[in-house]
Chains A and B, each alone.
Chain A
């Protein structure tokens, strides 16, 4: 029975995140416009743009290799798998044993590598600049990410995300300062990841549409990860039944709305050209979090 329920929650989760990704992107766009004082777009606009792209014919540059052909597919698959692994409204899904936080961090990085390769395959200046910029940002982002992940895993006694969230829900993570710093570091890395220069300038039509979907899934994955770690309240257990699933769904939607508000505020403030400074801060935060977790306790 509980196996069945965990399968049902997994399917619900997968459907929910696939639906939520474009909505989140739309809400962030609307909120950004409102905060920046522009005429707001509609929530469905990003979705309509993607549908429009699907109707256009794809143009590939002459001499494009299979890397260009498969990069959009691989990109969306990696993003979707990442978001499937991160619990949204329930713990204990079928994917729980697979949702290792180190693997999730590596998948985030791998998605960028795929885009880098596609950009270099185009053989044009702008794409190459985007690729090199992505690589050099990652050199600072990856340590911050892994230090934060290490701190969380150390506090929870393992790197399984499901177990970390369960421990956090029950207040079993010993050092709240370390947890908070680690989550802050994760949030900065996630934001910088969003601000990576676009490597998709050479794609068009359906390829570009698929890449846009991948980007939306990626943003959702970051929001899910950080939201769940920061505020895991209301998360249901897979075998707890529909009522607590409903509560979990509401809590998840609330978390996403908060995330959208923060994202929109940061984007409207025009802070995106300070990515490197932010990464230095994230690195410091992650480092302190890891040290606190290693020395075992709050600095009080």
Chain B
């Protein structure tokens, strides 16, 4: 108990829990006060973790004085947990601040849900045994589930059942994967016989939570059905948490027994996910769903990274493993920050312009400059454009692929990643172009106003963080280096510096491009180019809208279709038709039955 960081973090978790309860039950507490307290606590946690990472805090363990009979809950603070705490606290601070500043139908309930969710996520990340991890997961999942119900106006959100299912699956997977070693992580790290069934469990639960193919069906419908703040939690907290679980269970706990084919399974799932996620992102009709597709695609890229790290471990190529893990950690931060920012911006669009559907928006950059800035930063980070965080991670992954064992099917992974970069760029340009550029497509989007004044600095700050992550990937990776060293034995050493990654000098790139911009502008002004005039431009007979059609003929603007090539029509696969309608299945008995089946299977697997 020499280091103070763990007790302090535990205090923060307890305080967040208390705040969550207070927000729900104390009628007199004001929204702003609760929000301020929550954001303060979360921000304090961020500062503490950052400080601990910078000074190189030694890993520590804390055994709590309570737990199951004969079993005490344990927490540990190691570099991996510390790195994952950073995005969790950061997005938590932002989400709570937004919830406190923006009027809501039931603000206190949403604040309560947020506090509980952050507490749960932090608890899950700090957990040093399966039971504590499950407690955290259940808390976080329950909070998101509850927020879906609380925030949706009126009818219960259809996102709840699949979310409950996925969370239950993850809980069971974690319990199952850790049960064989008596739940303690320390014991698991020493096991050399990690049964295949446990690997499959550890893959399915967190994989489903992260939205990996073939367990991705729930993800985009859940985002579409959730109110913006629940969607922000899903993209910015739940998916990074799922990636944490994958890293913890496969790269850390399963490490001594990991086999090469685990990596290949993850590569296949990740490759499928990047393509389907990108495709959905470039074809969905709603802003939030497009962003969810982009986040899902990033989950897929991260899964490819984890797969490569596993391959590197199995074939004894530590450089490959550390490069791939670096890409994964960078993606987690970018996904958390940009996912939250994007969904909050989509929520602002929904609130102010009346819809999240692309065909009803348009021209919002004039009416909502702050939200447009936030959305642009989020899209830039989530897609693979040079200068953004997503591209830095892809670049690292490309280097890892170059260092990977050569096999012809590796070309498929490269092709999948390449398709996903094209799809995500198209998706980002489509969302921004249709919703924010051009002319308004209806009265609501013409009369939209920007997000409420108190929330503007928060949104701009989060956008700033997203841009900074893209500009200084080296600095982020320096914070991640201890975690990479912890899992892979070697760090990135001289490949990274505070200003950049060797080979991908993003600062030079951005500075060079901006310098040329400034130079050309200066030349133009000096040469006395006449000032631009406003007037209708000739564009193949396009005319300005007449007085009786104030928004023009809607058909003359792109409504977001046609960004994808038409695929040749394939004959339908002879798959069994499965009409699953959650509305007709009583959710609770079904869940209980599934849990019982799983527990029996677990007992059978963990048995002597």
Contact = CB atoms under 8 A, between A and B. Distances in A.
B is a partner of A = yes
Interface of A: 54, 57-63, 65-67, 70, 73-74, 76-78, 80-81, 84, 97-98, 100, 102-103, 106-107, 109-110, 113, 116-117, 119-129, 131-133, 135-143, 145-147, 150, 153-154, 157-160, 201-207, 210, 276, 287, 290-291, 294-296
B375 interface: no
A139 B513 contact: no
B457 interface: no
A150 B535 contact: no
B187 to A, nearest CB: 40
Contact of A202 (B407, B433, B537): B537
Contact of B384 (A54, A106, A145): A106
Interface stretch (B24-32, B468-476, B555-563): B555-563
Contact of A77 (B429, B502, B520, B532): B520
Given A113-B385, A291-B408, 20 more contacts: A54-B529, A59-B534, A62-B544, A66-B365, A77-B513, A77-B514, A77-B517, A97-B505, A103-B386, A116-B433, A123-B437, A131-B558, A135-B430, A139-B422, A142-B418, A143-B415, A146-B414, A159-B398, A290-B414, A290-B415
A142 B406 contact: no
Given A74-B517, A100-B504, A146 B539 contact: no
Nearest to B441: A123
B571 interface: no
Chain B: interface size category:
35 or more
Contacts of B385: 106, 109-110, 113
Contacts of A60: 532-535, 537
A106 B386 contact: yes
16 contacts: A63-B363, A65-B365, A65-B436, A73-B520, A76-B520, A123-B439, A124-B556, A126-B540, A133-B562, A135-B425, A135-B563, A140-B565, A142-B418, A147-B411, A206-B529, A287-B411
Contacts of B98: none
A132 B563 contact: yes
Contacts of B438: 120-123, 128
B36 interface: no
A11 to B, nearest CB: 14
A150 B558 contact: no
Contacts of A117: 429, 432-433, 437
Nearest to B527: A54
Contact of B410 (A97, A128, A129, A294): A294
A62 B534 contact: yes
A138 B410 CA distance: 22
Contact of A57 (B386, B439, B527, B532): B532
A78 B540 contact: no
B580 to A, nearest CB: 31
Contacts of A76: 516-517, 520
A61 B437 contact: no
Given A62-B535, A74-B517, A81-B516, A294 B395 contact: no
Given A117-B437, A138-B422, A206-B524, A81 B509 contact: yes
B564 interface: yes
B167 interface: no
B489 interface: no
